[in-house]
Chain A
Amino acid sequence: MDIPRYWRLRNQRYRLEGTECTECGEKSFPPRCVCAKCKSDSLQPFRFSGKGTIYSFSTIYQALDTFDKDIPYSIALVKLEEGPLITTQLADISPDEIKIKLPVEMVIRKIYEDGEHGPIQYGYKFRPVLNK
């Protein structure tokens, strides 16, 4: 991913920042240009708590180019406690421990390295909630 694009995504990748509609209260991730529910364009940034539960998941054995060295790795749709689903990689969990409804929380991890000399890109992943 080119650096300007990655930089543009920093508030989403590091802070889980989406949008909240000031008209109807609908919360969205990724951020929207227009409210998906009431079509208002009066939206403000909204930072999600990063807590949720697993809605669906998969473990990847054949990956896109850039992620080849990470296989096997696991991904999920996580139902955030504020409502929306988010697509994410999972961290600190083995494939046989993953279950639908498992409580998870956001952490910042390395997403990928662009070759030996390229920038390292970080962003959100989700891991099982600690101290449970």
Chain B
Amino acid sequence: MRQTAIIGIGQTPVREHWDYPIRGLAVKALRAAMQDAGTERIEGLFVGNMLSGALAEQEHLGALVADYAGFPGIEAVKIEAACASGAAAVRQAVLAVASGHLEIAAAVGVEKLTEFSGKFSSKALATAADADYEASIGLSFAALNALMMQRYMYEYGYSKEDFSPFPMIAHHNAQFNPNAMFRYPITKAQYLKAKPIADPVNLLDSSPVSDGAAALIIVPLEKISRFAGKGVKISACEITTDSIGLDNRENPIILAAAQKSARAAYKTAGVLPKDISVFEAHDAFSIITALSLEASGFVKDGQAPRLAAEGIYNIDGRLPISTFGGLKGRGHPVGATGVYQLVEATEQVRGCAPDKLQVPDVRTAMTQNIGGSGATVVTSILEKI
């Protein structure tokens, strides 16, 4: 297998994009990434998306996006793994290039949610859970996260306010990211007063439904000098799975798939958690941020909220997380989220993040994209060349 690199990145702002169809958003991000790479061609396209069929009545995004991007005829396919669809598509692009099958591949994540009523889109999002035994008896996505959060609070003795640092970090960072959806900070008082969704999960624990698209151009590491873009090495991109039902996990407050995926990524990249200088976390809900930090070996089980209170995950802390606002602040265009995380991590490694968000001397950045309540996890590690 060859080593691979990201040579181009592109994104649309995360917004309510009522003026763009799904194909238009995807092409916009893809063309931006191709321009950044300095290429006019791609040989393969992997589209990460979860809900185009359920909501926009449009499947077959591989062929659709390839056609509208001006490349009818190339290999192109949609990859679906719930909220982890984006990084799962990146994984396929990486494998295609690493295997020698393609010389230049694109991964595009795209999702449009906001033009559909909230009830319709949350029902569609709940299809990531077990349809027969979770969603159809009344559990939304927030409800599953509430079950994890409640048990976590019980086992480790936390109260609701102990989770406030996570959305506060996200909103703080998002205000300096021009592509973020929520560009304003929030206070602990606002967090504690937010509308309950599924107790103890409230509105400010929850990432918003959003529209957006992000794209990466992936090439063999040894060929980056042929391109105009600034290359960043993909040291690992590892995908793992767990029981889809939360009730079928050995321990519902341990993300076993995240543990496996992170361990595999550290091994492939030959690094340790202490070598990571930036972590783009999948903060779909506050509890997931804590569980993801713990599963990735950054902190012992049950300790993440405690360390968050000390400020170590702040933008100027020891391990900055969600540096562009994360899912909570940048927004969570579901199937695009994993690609946004990698676009942002690339900016950190290249050293071209916005002033107030650039972490000094980033050599190694990690992203973790989580599908469902933890049933698919993709952990990626990027390194400076």
A interface list, Cβ under 8 A from B? 1, 5, 9, 12, 28-30, 36, 55-68, 70, 73, 75-77, 84-89, 95, 100, 111-112, 123
Would you call B154 and A67 a contact (CB within 8 A)?
A: no
Of B27-35, B240-248, B289-297, B306-314, the stretch lying at the interface with chain A is B240-248
Question: With a CB–CB cut-off of 8 A, which chain A residues contact B252?
Answer: 55-56, 77, 85
Do A59 and B142 form a contact, CB below 8 Å, given A64-B135, A68-B119?
no
In the assembled complex, how far is the CB of residue B282 from the closest CB belonging to chain A, in whole angstroms?
20
12 examples of A-B residue contacts, CB within 8 angstroms: A30-B130, A30-B132, A30-B133, A64-B122, A65-B122, A70-B138, A73-B138, A75-B198, A84-B248, A85-B247, A85-B248, A87-B147
Would you call A58 and B132 a contact (CB within 8 A)?
A: no
In the assembled complex, how far is the CB of residue A33 from the closest CB belonging to chain B, in whole angstroms?
13
Question: With a CB–CB cut-off of 8 A, which chain A residues contact B350?
Answer: none
Q: Find residues 129-152 in chain B having any chain A CB closer than 8 Å to their own CB.
A: 130, 132-140, 142-143, 146-148, 150-151
In the complex, A65→B135 CA distance in Å? 11
Would you call A84 and B247 a contact (CB within 8 A)?
A: yes
Would you call A89 and B138 a contact (CB within 8 A)?
A: yes
Would you call A95 and B133 a contact (CB within 8 A)?
A: no
The tally of CB-CB contacts under 8 A between chains A and B is 111
Would you call B151 and A56 a contact (CB within 8 A)?
A: yes
Would you call A111 and B138 a contact (CB within 8 A)?
A: yes
Q: Is B201 an interface residue (CB 8 A)?
A: yes
Which of B137, B140, B200 is in CB contact (< 8 Å) with A89?
B137
Would you call A64 and B147 a contact (CB within 8 A)?
A: no
Q: Is B72 an interface residue (CB 8 A)?
A: no
Would you call B150 and A60 a contact (CB within 8 A)?
A: no
Which of B136, B198, B243, B246 is in CB contact (< 8 Å) with A60?
B198
In the complex, A88→B247 CA distance in Å? 10
Q: Interface size for chain B: under 10, 10 to 19, 20 to 34, or 35 or more residues?
A: 35 or more
Question: With a CB–CB cut-off of 8 A, which chain B residues contact A9?
Answer: 132
Q: Is B5 an interface residue (CB 8 A)?
A: no
In the assembled complex, how far is the CB of residue B206 from the closest CB belonging to chain A, in whole angstroms?
9
Question: With a CB–CB cut-off of 8 A, which chain B residues contact A84?
Answer: 247-248
Which of B122, B133, B199, B247 is in CB contact (< 8 Å) with A58?
B199
In the complex, A4→B142 CA distance in Å? 28
Interface string of B203-235 (1 = CB under 8 A from A): 000000000000000000000000000000000
Would you call B138 and A75 a contact (CB within 8 A)?
A: yes
Q: Is B123 an interface residue (CB 8 A)?
A: yes
In the assembled complex, how far is the CB of residue A11 from the closest CB belonging to chain B, in whole angstroms?
12
Q: Is B185 an interface residue (CB 8 A)?
A: no
In the complex, A54→B263 CA distance in Å? 32
Would you call A63 and B120 a contact (CB within 8 A)?
A: no
Do A87 and B245 form a contact, CB below 8 Å, given A30-B132, A77-B151?
yes
In the complex, the chain B residue whose C-beta lies closest to that of A61 is: B196
In the assembled complex, how far is the CB of residue A29 from the closest CB belonging to chain B, in whole angstroms?
8
In the complex, A112→B138 CA distance in Å? 9
Would you call B143 and A58 a contact (CB within 8 A)?
A: yes
Which of B133, B138, B198, B247 is in CB contact (< 8 Å) with A61?
B198
In the complex, the chain A residue whose C-beta lies closest to that of B253 is: A56
Question: With a CB–CB cut-off of 8 A, which chain A residues contact B147?
Answer: 56-58, 75-77, 87
In the assembled complex, how far is the CB of residue A9 from the closest CB belonging to chain B, in whole angstroms?
6
In the complex, A59→B269 CA distance in Å? 43
In the complex, A10→B151 CA distance in Å? 30
Would you call B198 and A62 a contact (CB within 8 A)?
A: yes
